[in-house]
A and B are shown apart, each in its own frame.
Chain A
Amino acid sequence: MFPLLSAVVVTLLVGTALTFAAGKYARWVALATSFAFLAEVAYLLMSYPGWPGYANGIIPGFANQESYSWIHLGWLTVNYTVGVDGISLVLILLTAVLQVATVVYSWNETRRPGAWFGLVMLTCLGCVGVFIALDILLFFLFWEAVLIPMFFLIGFWGGPNRRYAALKFFVYTHVASIVMLVGLLALVFYSGATSFDYSSVYAAGHGLMTVTQTFLFLALFFGFGVKFPIVPFHTWLPDAHVEAPTGGSVLLAGLLLKLGAYGLIRWAVFVLPSGFHEAQPLLFVIAFITIAWGSIVSLAQRDLKRLVAFSSINHMGIVLLAIALGSSLGLLAAVLLMFAHGIVSALLFMVSGSVHHTYGTRDIPSLGGITPSTPVLATMVMVGSLASLGLPWLISFPAEFTALLATWDGLAYWVLIPLGILVVTAAFYIWMMQRMLFGPPRGIPADVHDLPWHESAAMSFLVAFTIFLGVFPFFLVNLITSSPIHGFPGT
């Protein structure tokens, strides 16, 4: 079998190296690599054996598995093992889409374009790696590999306070990674797993005593939770977002936040079912706090970008809630939400970046009636906001609807909490649109131009996905539900 997943990794690695070296042609190399990546992902999707009617639409393990020996010391067996199931495929697709969009959006980057595009692609490489890794060390390696390019993206291309933000981002997430690593190592050595491979860890993890599982689960949950981010470990996120350049924010919100949720599902919830069961109440509490905190604080924001950042926290809280339900429906909702939030938050961060450099400010109260002068930008603000508040036919709707349905299914009337908060958030977005897009013009410079072609192209690309998958969500649903063996027990 052709090693398709390794081919993806190699494509991105080679593309990144070439981009660094390409100087002023960096953007062309980056674009070519991104499209090659997208084509490979499309092929991966088409050849995936989990579609309905295609080998019953259900696969027993992982597709496209590859395994090569890496470190073997007897007591320590590490392999390069990769493979995909429906959940990882959805997120790989998200990675490819966002990489293309980011490269196109920052087409006219003038400060060290080679390094910029190279680091963008390196971040995406790390994310793809996390989604395909089926070995603990490999997973951790890609996990950490995301950190460094993002550190430089924020620290070099960011806003005025970028150094502080980059350092805070690095330290927060690195400390969390270390706790996660201790948890993963303890998982291997306490369960007596024969190797660091997922299959071996999966089997051994299920065999552990409930107490051990609970402790391990909590360690892993902390490690993954900081990336989520869960309240109270979320403070790195607004700082990082506000200081990050637009492309950096897109990757940060679109991809990096998904790593935590993916890791939680793959390495904690699936592997340690009893520990997860014990920790469920804690997860619910944290999820509700995160949802409420994210939305209440976002109500107080005047800065468009901070608003989007905090509403990201709110959305990721719903993802955590959906995971915590521990049902197949909840899992489906979580992955759908991750994809939807990836696309929509990317769109919104692009929008706020464009508002910033078109009008020189992101301050919502000082802007008004921008529609006549910049109709395309205003349309994008509108689509992004409507998608974010969950308008039907746009991608967030099926995701949020499934999440609420799953919450009702699992927690009955507790669903009123996320539902009420969603309504408040929606009202706030509508108020923001009303002030910024309509009404008498305010804060509009004389020589204002609408979006340059590459920005509108990148946003339109995302809008296309927002609409297409909003109308045909079963495309994603079929993928996610194709790997039931890794779903929850008893479903």
Chain B
Amino acid sequence: MDASTFIGPFVPELLLLGAVLLVFLFDVLGIRRNEYLSTIAVAATSLALLSVLGDLGFAPLAVFATLPSSLIDVAPSGAPLYAFTSLGLIFQAIFLLSALLVCLASASRPSHEKGAPIFYGLLLLATVGMLLVAVATDLIFLLLAIEVTSISTYLLVAYHRRESRSLEAAMKFFIIGALSTVLSFYGASLLFGAYDTTNLYAIGRATGSVGFPVLVLLGYGFLIAGLAFKVTLVPFHAWAVDVYDGAPSDVSAFLAGGTKKIGLFAFFLVFLGPILFIKATGAGTSPFSGGPLDLGPILTLTLGVLAVLTMTVGNLLALLQKEMKRMLAYSSISQAGYMLIGVTIGSAPAITGATMQIFAHVLMKGGAFLVVAGVAALGVGPLIDDWKGLGTRRPLLGVAFALMLLSLAGVPLTIGFVSKFVLFSSAVQAQGFFVWLAVAGLLNSALSVFYYARVLKVLYFEPSPAPVLPAAPRPADVLPAGGLGYGRAVAIGLIAVLIVTIGVYPQPVLGAIQAAAQHFVAVGA
């Protein structure tokens, strides 16, 4: 293996690692101006994004391609640690986009913050972990990559370490995270005991012929529990709201929009193998019968129940919230339920739908938290009622935020509609039990309209409160772009444009994802 085939595939990761080192070097040298640091972070993430898009075969970006196409979508032989699937590359692009947007928005953070280098360093480090998740083919490699991301994000949540809310959130996040890691590794060790391998493809192919059903069931059970914490599935969700609420809003954008999705991709990797294999071969009869284990229906049913439970509980609790961030956090939980539908069905159309939903969620939810962060800097309080009349006072910001909410609610001509449309169509197309997943999902979408519409009502129909005159800010403190800062304004604007453009003409994105999903299914089965 010569250097180019070894380094080439990992150019995005190396780019980000280089940026991390550079940022920490700046810290040592005492250069902590936010402008410089954010420029480095934005440059690194956007270059990495271009490289991944080039690898995916977007013709105009071919110059940035670094990964030999002979390595993509090849069924792995032996027991490799990593392999490049085009679906994995698409997830890399999604993760990088999420990081890029957060870095872009963070350019508007205060210019002289002591911890700024740490902020960007950890953010980029977490992104490296996410990129590695997307190429993992080995259970241990996967869990370690998740851990890289998790540890970075524990620290990010504690960024405001003098604020008790932030500290409490970080502590909660850390303890729950550690627990979930332990559960996942325990599950992995049980599976290793049963299958004598930690390679995901090998495990997937062996599911039909295992002699230790209890071990396998326990192993998958622990893995589901461990990963469910990361994805905030009900009933493993309780930590998420406090963490998203307590963390700095930019970090919440990254957590809800970005890092949560690695858990979902892990679900793809871990569970699609067995589900697809059993579907393809029809292997297995029933558990505990002495014959081969029929994992397919058990996994499908478990995941299906978790999906419905997650979206319903998330939505019901979101209805009750009075604070904007908590409402968004619960809505984020419910969205994880929609995404899990894709794993449950496990067909190429369903994976297409789920991936699209994940992509959409990065934009809508990430964007919404970025708006929250920007609006907080303008002096708007945490309650939804504090946002009264903002839509009429700040028309452009209002339109962008309204678009994100409408997209979350799944209103047509937004990306959120397209993703839900494809996802629920795939559920109806799969027929049988899965149609009920579509029905549950659609009813939940209807339910969710309540709380999104309520925010719209507050934004547009309620009169602005009498302006409380704040201490007149010194002119130097006021950021450009109406107090948002250029970086944040560009990030929010970009998200709004993407939400509408892809909502109106989704074919290029959907086509690419569908092709990737078909390869993924073909390689996995």
Contact = CB atoms under 8 A, between A and B. Distances in A.
Contacts of B505: 70
A140 interface: yes
Given A155-B457, A163-B457, A182 B507 contact: no
Chain A at the B interface: SS class = helix
Nearest to A187: B428
A189 B510 contact: no
Given A137-B421, A182-B439, A73 B428 contact: no
Interface string A38-72: 00000000000000000000000000000001111
Interface stretch (B300-308, B365-373, B442-450): B442-450
Contact of B460 (A73, A155, A182): A155
Nearest to A76: B425
Contacts of A141: 412-413
A59 to B, nearest CB: 30
A240 to B, nearest CB: 14
Interface in A124-142: 137, 140-141
A145 B413 contact: yes
A178 B349 contact: no
B442 A73 contact: no
Interface string A140-167: 1100110010011001100000110011
Contacts of B445: 178
Contacts of B446: 171, 174-175, 178
A181 B412 CA distance: 12
A185 interface: yes
A72 B510 CA distance: 9
Interface string B423-459: 0111011010001001100110110011001100100
Contacts of B453: 151, 167, 170-171
A2 interface: no
A75 B422 CA distance: 10
Contacts of B429: 75-76, 189
Contacts of B435: 186
Contact of B425 (A69, A145, A174, A185): A185
A166 B506 CA distance: 31
A190 interface: yes
Nearest to A167: B453
Given A145-B413, A171-B449, A178-B446, A76 B422 contact: yes
Contacts, number: 81
Contacts of A189: 425, 428-429, 431
Contact of A178 (B422, B426, B443, B514): B443
Contacts of A182: 424, 428, 438-439, 442
Interface in B20-76: none
B514 A73 contact: yes
B88 to A, nearest CB: 20
Interface in B451-491: 453-454, 457, 460-461
Which of A162, A166, A167 has the most chain B CB atoms closer than 10 A to its own CB? A167
Nearest to B450: A171
A76 B349 contact: yes
Interface string B397-432: 000000000100001110000000110111011010
B274 to A, nearest CB: 23
B497 to A, nearest CB: 16
Contacts of A156: 460-461
B412 A140 contact: yes
A137 B514 CA distance: 19
Given A185-B424, A185-B438, A75 B349 contact: yes
B87 to A, nearest CB: 15
Given A137-B421, A185-B428, A189-B428, A145 B412 contact: yes
A148 B411 contact: yes
Contacts of B411: 144, 148
A135 to B, nearest CB: 13
B352 interface: yes
B282 interface: no
A131 B102 CA distance: 43
A178 B461 contact: no
B258 to A, nearest CB: 26
B449 A170 contact: yes
A185 B349 CA distance: 14
Contacts of A144: 411-412
A198 B258 CA distance: 40
B115 interface: no
A75 B453 CA distance: 33
B297 interface: no
Interface in A389-410: none
B511 interface: yes
A178 B417 CA distance: 12
A137 B420 CA distance: 13
Nearest to B514: A73
A188 B429 CA distance: 9
B412 A73 contact: no
Contacts of B428: 182, 185-186, 188-189
Nearest to A154: B461
A189 B350 CA distance: 14
Interface string B330-363: 0000000000000000000100100000000000
A72 B453 CA distance: 32
Contacts of A181: 424, 442
Contacts of A73: 349, 352, 422, 510-511, 514
Contacts of A69: 507
A421 B352 CA distance: 54
A71 B431 contact: no
A144 B453 CA distance: 14
B457 A71 contact: no
A70 B507 contact: yes
A71 B412 contact: no
A216 B450 CA distance: 27
Contacts of A148: 406, 411
Contact of B507 (A71, A152, A155, A186): A71
Contacts of A145: 412-413
B442 A167 contact: no
Nearest to B513: A73
A167 B450 CA distance: 8
A121 B506 CA distance: 26
A151 to B, nearest CB: 8
Contacts of A163: 457, 461
A167 B319 CA distance: 14
B511 A174 contact: no
Contacts of B457: 155, 163, 166-167
A174 B431 contact: no
Which of B413, B426, B439, B453 has the most chain A CB atoms closer than 10 A to its own CB? B453
Contact of A167 (B349, B406, B424, B454): B454
Nearest to A148: B411
B461 A155 contact: yes
A130 to B, nearest CB: 12
Contacts of B450: 171
Interface string A223-245: 00000000000000000000000
Nearest to A155: B461
7 contacts: A70-B505, A141-B412, A170-B449, A171-B449, A175-B446, A185-B428, A189-B429
Given A167-B453, A178-B445, 19 more contacts: A69-B507, A71-B507, A71-B510, A73-B511, A73-B514, A74-B514, A75-B429, A76-B429, A144-B411, A148-B411, A170-B453, A178-B442, A179-B442, A181-B424, A182-B438, A182-B439, A185-B424, A185-B425, A190-B431
Interface of A: 69-76, 137, 140-141, 144-145, 148, 151-152, 155-156, 162-163, 166-167, 170-171, 174-175, 178-179, 181-182, 185-186, 188-190
Interface of B: 349, 352, 406, 411-413, 421-422, 424-426, 428-429, 431, 435, 438-439, 442-443, 445-446, 449-450, 453-454, 457, 460-461, 505-507, 510-511, 514
8 A-B pairs closest in CB distance = A141-B412, A185-B428, A175-B446, A189-B429, A144-B412, A178-B442, A189-B428, A178-B446
